[in-house]
Structure 1
Amino acid sequence: MSVLRIGAGAGFSGDRIAPAVELAEKGNLDFLVFECLAERTIALAQHARLKDPASGFDPMLERRMRAVLPITARNGTRIVTNMGAANPQAAARLVRKVAHDLGLHDLKIAAVTGDDVLDVIGPCQLDETGSTAAAMGKRLISANAYIGIAPIVAALDAGADVVICGRASDPALFLAPLVHHFGWSMDDWTRLGRGTLVGHLLECSAQVTGGYFADPGVKDVPNLARVGFPLAEVDEDGNAVITKVAGTGGCVTRATCTEQLLYEIHDPESYLQPDVVADFSKVMIEQIGPDRVAVSGADGRAATGRLKISVGYRDGWKADGQISYAGANCVARARLAAELVQQRLEDAGIDLIESRADLIGYNSVPRPVANEQAAPPHEVRLRFVARCKTPEIAQLVVDEVEGLYLCGPAGGGGVTRNVGEIIAIASTLMPAKNVRTSFEMLETQDAVA
């Protein structure tokens, strides 16, 4: 029975590059997947594209591609990624340029498009507000559908060595290579469910190899400084072994895989995806060797016919001012500082949409303090944050925090100030038939702009 080897080169936009390089070099991979988008990431990317039409893709795209393309091209490993974010076509052009610079003149690079549905989102009712997207007016900046595997499979079938998507479903990035390689039918719900399980286990990179699992003295993970990224050995029926490159840090165990299996799953019997409703309720997880875990038993049924849409919109300006207090009575001094900022803003007639004050290291996570009688910390950091209507108001807020240096309680220091626009996220659903996807193929033999 043939086996496909597929690895995770990233689990979020800021993920480390070195483990991906090691996986590309030593993983004997057929496919390397970089999953780099979150709900808010795509909206921020759209915001960046509004400022510069040539931008809007993952900021680490070039660094990642320069690091792995020489290896994947040499080894015949194909890449699938959502680093295209808000601008897959510009991302594909950049990857073509990188390949050209590296002397890789025989690569085919596909840009998957169609997830951007801003032009048709207007009538859709948003879950969070109950109003339509159109009611947001100029505040509305983006709307992206979580698309499925069809255009990715089509690009791979056409010979793409690198497939760059925007807002595809995370597991779809892994499921598409399986469907392409094994020739699974698009209505083979059981295999699609199993492939979705593989994607779900791999999509967050080191979460399944011990990175997010580690808790010293409770769940110890060996050599975490050199944690390896995961790969799966998948058979033609969709069952898999989750593992990592020998000699890398971290661990792949029944416990790490179980934690990742439960991650972001609302209903294990109905994990809604664009291509299938996956059923993980009967999944079996078995340790079959050191850093080797067999997973099987997933199933699936027909998809709902609706796609989740992530909607980005402007939601005011954030003012974030921080200052530290240390030594005896530091909690009381920090509390007084927060009260002073609040009072001075009120006295000045400054209208805030909302605000909060946290004492980091004491009551910020969770709130309130569980045991007020516990020994006080040696230091705390006051964070006063507000949502404001304008950047000018936000600036006045952080000015008041900085004013605590001499006009507040004793011993404050280390002020930081940050003002930035808030890009918020809302969700809705749209009939899948209204989302039209396709792909555009670039070749490195083509002239580079």
Structure 2
Amino acid sequence: MDFLIFEALAERTIHDAHIRIEEGVNPGYGMLFEERMRRCALACLRRGIRIITNDGSANPRAAAQWLVEFLRENGVTAKIAVVEGDDVKGYYETNKDNIFTPAIYQIIAGSDAFLPTDPSTIRDNLGSANVYLYYEPVREALDQGADIVITGRVADPSMFVAALSHSFNWNAGDWNKIAMGTVVGHLLECSGHSTGGYFSDCERKLVSGLANIGYPIAEVDDEANEVIITKLPGSGGHLSARTVLEQLHYEVHSFSSYVTPDVIAEFRHVRVEQAGENRVRVTGFVGRERPATLKVLLGYQAGYNIVLALRFRGHDALKRALLIGDVWSERLRHSANNILDSVYLYNDLPRAAALKDDPDPRYVEFRYSAIVEDRAEAEYIARSFAGFYLNGAYGGGGVETSVHRSAFQKSQLYDSIEKS
């Protein structure tokens, strides 16, 4: 093995990390970064396996500083590279009057009815702005001999493109090669998806050994333009052309134009075929010139999330839960001006659907979720709900309450942030 790559960021992960920095919870890198490095960094360095990860999240420099101390404590030296530059919040704050105009805001908002109508809501509550970076800075770090590369918001497949581009010395404009790296990244980035983790559908698509699932490995033949997806012998899960095809389709809006900051890959040309037990051959890599714009993910705060739950068992469980829902709705009238949005659910169903689904279930969970403008009001509402232990229908138990800052994201394509 040449590279171990941890793709660790979802859409909202970095904004959550910025919130943790602000609240002093952690330095802003991935919550599992330290554990992952403790478990694998020393073994990888001994074997000459290089690590690439975007688990640096909102603070890759702090992640690298922690890793340096960890390696020093274990008497190990290594070249660690940090890729920064994705955090463009300062750019947005400096230019916010030009960016958050009503006209441009309408482009950002699109058809999202939940976004506030006033652009100042995002402009004045912007918590993060991160651009999806491309593969070149990661490759540069590898070219300079880095053993471990820690990044912030680099596009998911770009780390894989960087590893392959470095290994095979690809030219910057070889779009078909970069498309191959992008397909490899897409097939590997979601850990066990390609090996049955998201494929399993009980009896219809039974997958054995999920408790010991093997993650996918890509064996890349640059000269043959061919990739073999495989997994460790003896590991659990299921790897076949079907599982790989499912992952190839995952989160792809257009098979003719899979857009990344590195290339526009044409997945419609990709061919997937079984090449043996737990071995799948992937060929047919076609790419077009990269887009002129970069994607920026804006994170902003809009109130506080409340999640409240109360559970009932036995006869008339649903009737008792519905009663609590009615009482709770009446009690919240005094807070109506502070509640931006809310939902009442009974076993995850709205009232009418719950009655239709099963009029007399033996177990019902009443769940109320809301977004409240003010923290103090949100905490007051949560405290009030706990009173249903004694002041509601009989037999209620398992009360749960939580309040946390609400975070929203909206993406934007912006061509004024140059690739540099």
User: 5 Å matches for 1:36-435?
Assistant: 36-52=8-24, 55-105=27-77, 107-121=78-92, 122=96, 123-124=98-99, 125-126=104-105, 127-129=107-109, 136-237=122-223, 238-347=225-334, 351-360=338-347, 363=349, 369=353, 372=356, 374=358, 376-431=360-415, 433-435=417-419
CA distance in 2, matches of 1:319, 1:375: 28
CA distance in 1, matches of 2:79, 2:118: 40
CA distance in 1, matches of 2:118, 2:229: 43
The worse-fitting range, judged by mean Cα deviation, of 262-271 and 378-387 is 378-387
User: 5 Å matches for 1:24-43?
Assistant: 29-43=1-15
CA distance in 2, matches of 1:413, 1:99: 48
Change (3 A) 1:54 1:217: closer
Change (3 A) 1:178 1:415: same
Change (3 A) 1:44 1:173: same
CA distance in 2, matches of 1:414, 1:408: 13
Deviation at 1:399, TM superposition (A): 2.4
Change (3 A) 1:424 1:254: same
Which secondary structure does the structure 1 equivalent of 2:353 belong to? coil
Change (3 A) 1:382 1:240: same
Retained in 1: the 8 A contact 2:80–2:149?
Answer: yes
Change (3 A) 1:412 1:429: same
- The letter of the residue matching 1:129 is A
Change (3 A) 1:132 1:195: farther
Deviation at 1:251, TM superposition (A): 1.3
Retained in 1: the 8 A contact 2:20–2:26?
Answer: no
Which secondary structure does the structure 2 equivalent of 1:328 belong to? coil
Superposed CA RMSD: 2.1
Higher relative contact order (CA 8 A, sep 6+): 1
Retained in 2: the 8 A contact 1:115–1:435?
Answer: no
Change (3 A) 1:269 1:373: closer
- The letter of the residue matching 1:255 is R
CA distance in 2, matches of 1:132, 1:302: 37
Q: Percent identity?
A: 38
Unaligned 5+ segments in structure 2 are 111-116
Retained in 2: the 8 A contact 1:43–1:141?
Answer: yes
CA distance in 2, matches of 1:132, 1:357: 27
Change (3 A) 1:132 1:385: closer
Retained in 1: the 8 A contact 2:318–2:359?
Answer: no
Q: Deviations over 1:145-189 (max 9, x none)?
A: 000001000000000000001000000111110000001111111
Q: TM-score, normalised by structure 2?
A: 0.91
CA distance in 2, matches of 1:263, 1:368: 33
Give the count of matched residue pairs. Answer: 404
Retained in 2: the 8 A contact 1:325–1:413?
Answer: yes
Deviation at 1:318, TM superposition (A): 1.1
Deviation at 1:262, TM superposition (A): 0.6
Retained in 1: the 8 A contact 2:316–2:361?
Answer: no
Deviation at 1:208, TM superposition (A): 1.1
Q: Deviations over 1:212-251 (max 9, x none)?
A: 2112111111111111111100111542111111011101
Retained in 2: the 8 A contact 1:239–1:296?
Answer: yes
Change (3 A) 1:142 1:204: same
CA distance in 2, matches of 1:42, 1:335: 38
Which secondary structure does the structure 1 equivalent of 2:205 belong to? coil
Deviation at 1:93, TM superposition (A): 1.1
Retained in 2: the 8 A contact 1:211–1:250?
Answer: yes
